[in-house]
């Protein structure tokens, strides 16, 4: 029987459990504390399911017979893919499970910021009732939403945003002007996006080249009335530059589902600012999304165990080593 170990997830993870058990594998729940502990709980695993645990080269090189590491989510920056590839370990992610959820959450943050919902509620709770203290409030139909990146999630956001009358533009070096135009969106440079957008929403992966992408220079370009939204990954934004921009009025507001360090530290300056909304990195979540996430991650593990190439293989270079892996048709899901 194959052994699959989780590194940092609360049980029960029902979809994976059922799929693995029905296909001759057993799921063990591990809760990493540090690198040494992570090595201890994963050393003898045939497969690993990880969320945020740092799967470093040291951890990966300690694995005795692991065949597959699944990053239970879209990004996989916590996995040393190069180290895994060199050991013949397939790395898998789940890139397409929460598009609607993140798009909805982004729009919720945008609307809360635009309509001053949180500030209004705080005012009422403190027994005040004076909307004039919440002004100015601009009409969405007079506003421009800038999407930094134009993958599946920002495309879903653009559909929602245009329903509210927002003009939408994007900056993404990997898409064409014609492709963007089909979605009713204008393609601009990142500099123009920063300068002309009333709302700027971040949707780029946490690659090394994107760390600190929204920089101090970017904040200097933004409108003083601009709202920055981030439902991607925290380190994409230079957090110290963001704090300074919020303090000195370079931008008006930030609405964030992610931060550089998570959970955010108890004494973090962002927690003391009235012009900030923070949610605890749950834009991805819905019961449906989590079910799909579990089914896809469990299914890809079984594919590898069965000698098949997983659906969402991050490191195709590993196939030069894992010549036993062949292409298959269809997905593996639980019968329950």
Catalytic residue among 191, 262, 265, 317: 262
Q: How many CB atoms lie within 10 A of CB 296?
A: 27
The structure tokens listed for 256 are 């964030």
Residue 267: Cβ-neighbour burial (10 angstroms; 0-12, 13-18, 19+): exposed
Cross-strand partners of 279 = none
Is 159 catalytic? The answer is no
The structure tokens listed for 118 are 């949180």
Contacts of 228 by beta carbon, 8 Å cutoff, 6+ apart: 200, 202, 214, 222, 237, 242, 251, 253, 254, 255, 256
Catalytic residue among 233, 239, 295, 322: 233
Catalytic residue among 16, 281, 295, 322: 281
Is 262 catalytic? The answer is yes
**Residues belonging to the chain:** 336
Strand order in the sheet with 144-148: 186-187, 167-171, 144-148, 199-202, 227-230, 253-256, 276-278
The alpha carbons of the chain give a radius of gyration, in whole angstroms, of 22
Q: For residue 105, which of 300, 284, 243 has the smallest C-alpha distance?
A: 284
Is 138 catalytic? The answer is no
Cα–Cα distance for residue pair 256/239, rounded to 1 Å: 11
Cα–Cα distance for residue pair 72/48, rounded to 1 Å: 10
Q: For residue 28, which of 84, 20, 229 has the smallest C-alpha distance?
A: 20
Buried/exposed code over 141-156 (b: 16+ C-beta within 10 A; e: otherwise): eebbbbbbbbbbbbbb
Q: For residue 76, which of 86, 67, 85, 87 has the smallest C-alpha distance?
A: 85
**Catalytic residue IDs:** 233, 262, 281
């Amino acid at each position: 029987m194959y052994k699959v170990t989780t590194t940092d997830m609360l049980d029960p993870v029902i979809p994976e459990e059922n799929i693995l058990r029905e296909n001759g594998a057993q799921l063990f729940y591990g809760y990493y504390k540090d690198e040494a502990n992570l090595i201890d709980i994963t050393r003898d695993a045939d497969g690993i399911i990880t969320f945020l645990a740092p799967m470093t080269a040291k951890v990966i090189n300690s694995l005795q017979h692991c065949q597959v590491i699944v990053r239970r989510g879209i990004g996989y920056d916590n996995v040393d893919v190069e180290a895994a590839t060199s050991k013949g370990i397939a790395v898998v992610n789940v890139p397409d499970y929460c598009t609607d959820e993140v798009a909805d959450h982004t729009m919720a943050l945008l609307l809360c910021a635009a309509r001053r919902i949180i500030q209004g509620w705080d005012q009422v709770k403190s027994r005040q009732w004076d909307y004039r203290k919440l002004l100015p409030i601009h009409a969405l139909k007079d506003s421009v939403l800038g999407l930094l990146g134009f993958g599946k999630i920002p495309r879903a956001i653009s559909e929602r945003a245009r329903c509210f009358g927002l003009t939408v533009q994007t900056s993404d070096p990997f898409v064409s002007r014609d492709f963007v135009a089909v979605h009713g969106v204008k393609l601009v440079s990142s500099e123009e996006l920063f300068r002309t957008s009333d709302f700027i929403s971040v949707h780029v992966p946490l690659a090394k080249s994107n760390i600190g992408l929204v920089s101090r220079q970017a904040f200097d370009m933004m409108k003083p009335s601009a709202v920055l939204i981030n439902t991607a990954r925290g380190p994409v934004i230079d957090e110290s530059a963001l704090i300074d921009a919020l303090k000195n009025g370079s931008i008006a507001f930030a609405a964030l589902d992610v931060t550089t360090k998570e959970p955010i530290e108890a004494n973090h300056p962002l927690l003391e600012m009235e012009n900030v909304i923070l949610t605890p990195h749950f834009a991805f979540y819905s019961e449906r999304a989590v079910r799909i996430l579990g089914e896809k991650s469990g299914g890809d593990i079984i594919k590898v165990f069965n000698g098949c190439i997983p659906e969402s293989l991050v490191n195709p270079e590993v196939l030069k080593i894992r010549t036993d892996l062949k292409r298959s048709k269809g997905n593996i899901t639980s019968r329950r």
